[in-house]
Amino acid sequence: MRTLYLDCFSGISGDMTVGALRDLGVPEEIFQQAISALGLTDEFHIHFRRGHKQNIAGWKFDVHAAHDHGHSHEEHGHAHEHGEHHHEHGHSHGEHGHSHAHPHAEHSHSHPHEHEHHPEHDDHVHGRSYREIRALLEASTLAETPKARALAVFHRIAIAEGKIHGIDPEEISFHEVGAIDSIADIVAACAGIDALGIECVLASRLVEGSGWITCAHGRFPLPAPATLEILAGIPLKQVEESTEYITPTGAALLAEYCSAYGPMPEMRIEKVGYGLGTRDTYPRPNVLRATLGETTSNSSAETDEIVKIETNIDDLTPELAGATMERLFAAGALDVFYTAAQMKKNRPGFLLTVLVQPEKVDEIATIILRETSAFGIRLDRMQRMKLRREFRDVETPYGTVRIKVGFLGDEIVQAAPEYESCREVAQRAGVSVRDVHLAAWIGSVPSPTAGS
């Protein structure tokens, strides 16, 4: 299987992703055509240039406002996403650097624990709403696959921002993602991945810096709120380095494309590419390394490593058992379930089983020992085989429903409507969740050529 492995040892951003794809051999014309398809040539243009970070050569991707012919990301140091690492998604061009709205110090270490926001972000932040961005993409002449992926990436960001601010995602106005740089990053990245014919995207486990960021909504600790929300369910480790390594756009691209996180699998390497950030960061070189190749596993299923935690309990009330389950899921457990069990002294009880990523073991174990009556737990590290997963939107008579699709190699073998999506659509349409679920399931049934 043609596989792209992203080594995110220094985080990930949109512009670094595009630069890495360019270094893997995607012709510049592919990116130019994708951007031209948006019909925004009167607002901005894109540019690639060779450069170095700590003696590592790679490509830097820049976005230039139409009226700012001299702008490049050269002066923004690391700025992922063009300066990135400034969330709220809006690249700011004050200081010649797109600042992702909290400008997260753009990977800069000048202020150890404070990432300053520079609202001067303004040259080309158009404040487009999610609804406007979606309409822009839908009306574009982009090829269907990158268009669908770009829409999905923005959908993830809108959902995250909507949850954080407590408003309908449709009404979200992206101070940053609405900026043309973020639109360019996402569209170019989706076009580049499609051009390489990539069937599977994998990534290393992610690291994020520490410290505080100041953005339009106040001061927040890293990871930034939007980034953290988007990365829910994805392995993430925080390090004592005062740099924001992961931007919302980079996080959303990973969440959309990546099916597993961990060491690089066995693969026949075809090419390695490097995408450069803007600023110079230490101790980590500000680059994203991308490896393209063919995975050589005999199995079509994906594998990763998980830990099973178990404990037998016979003296916990149902109310506390339910509360414990909620806490475990909120902490990142992959699955939590209770199984009826016959205990010592003829007592009825249950077996609590929790499946977690290895890096979550300590946190999950602490919750179990604090929240239940257990005096100990059992740990079992194991290999897991799973279908590659992908989320798609399906049109139904009641509205658009999100479905999860499972692939065994290139073959679609499972498709399941997402309950929350069905519930929301049913509520808006005034019909039963069952009706929406059935319509979405029918719409998700693959054609004989699906998945090819």
**Over the stretch 192-213, which tens digit does the pLDDT of each residue have?**
999 999 989 999 999 998 888 8
CA atoms within 13 A on the CB side of 158: 20
The pTM (predicted TM-score) of the whole model is 0.60
Q: What is the mean pLDDT of each run of 10 residues along the chain (452 residues)?
A: 94 96 98 95 91 92 74 39 42 34 35 35 55 93 92 92 88 65 94 95 92 79 91 89 90 93 91 91 89 77 84 95 96 96 91 92 94 93 84 93 88 90 95 95 65 44
Q: What pLDDT score does 282 carry?
A: 77
pLDDT at 147: 94
Question: 295, 324, 347: which is the final residue of a domain?
Answer: 295
- Dihedrals phi, psi of 299, to nearest 5 degrees: -90, 145
Q: Looking at the structure, do residues 199 and 316 belong to the same domain, yes or no?
A: no
- Of 270, 295, 320, which one is at a domain's C-terminal end? 295
So what's the pLDDT on residue 297? 57
Do 379 and 394 belong to one domain? no
Q: What distance in Å separates the CA atoms of residue 352 and residue 288, rounded to the nearest whole number?
A: 40
Res 76: pLDDT: 34
Q: Could you tell me what percentage of the chain is helix, strand and coil, using 3-state DSSP and rounding each to the nearest 5?
A: 35, 30, 35
Residue 449, domain member (yes or no): no
Q: 239 and 102 in one domain?
A: yes
Question: What is the C-alpha separation between 368 and 377, in angstroms, rounded?
Answer: 8
Residues 275 and 321 in one domain: no
Query: Looking at the domain assignment, is residue 358 inside a domain?
Result: yes
Q: The CATH number of the domain where 421 resides is what?
A: 3.10.20.300
Whole-number pLDDT of residue 232: 87
In a domain, 171, yes or no: yes
Q: What is the pLDDT of residue 300?
A: 64
**Same structural domain, 60 and 158:** yes
Residue 450 within a domain: no
Identity of the amino acid at 188: A
Residue 433 lies in a domain: yes
| 151 shares a domain with 264 | yes
What is the phi/psi pair of residue 165, to 5°? -95, -5
* Domain, as residue range, for 311: 303-386
Measured CA to CA, the distance from residue 229 to residue 415 in angstroms comes to 25
Contacts of 2 (CB under 8 A, 6+ apart): 196, 197, 198, 199, 200, 292, 293, 294
193, 49, 31, 191 alpha-carbon torsion, rounded to 10°: 20
Query: Does 452 reside within a domain?
Result: no
Do 228 and 212 belong together in one domain?
yes
Q: Do you find a cis peptide bond into 169, omega within 30 degrees of 0?
A: no
- Pairing label, strands 2-7, 200-203: parallel
Residue 216: per-residue pLDDT: 67
Question: Are both 280 and 324 inside the same structural domain?
Answer: no
Looking at residue 55, what is its pLDDT?
Answer: 86
User: What is the distance between the alpha carbons of residues 78 and 75, in angstroms, rounded to a whole number?
Assistant: 9
Same domain assignment for residues 371 and 437: no
Q: Which two tokens stand for residue 404?
A: 């999860």
Shared-domain flag, residues 375 and 288: no
346 and 358 share a domain? yes
The reported pLDDT for the residue numbered 240 is 86
Burial class (CB in 10 A: 0-12, 13-18, 19+), 347: exposed
Looking at the structure of the chain, the number of domains it has is 3
CATH of residue 328 = 3.30.70.1380
Is residue 451 assigned to a domain?
no
Could you please report the per-residue DSSP string of 220-284? Answer: EESSPHHHHHHTTTS-EEE-S-SS--B-HHHHHHHHHHEEEESSPPSEEEEEEEEEE-BS--SSS
234 assigned to some structural domain: yes
Which pLDDT value is given to residue 106? 35
Domain match, 364 and 260 both: no
What DSSP string runs through 293-352?
EEE--S-SSEEEEEEEEEEEESS--HHHHHHHHHHHHHTT-SEEEEEEEE-GGG-EEEEE
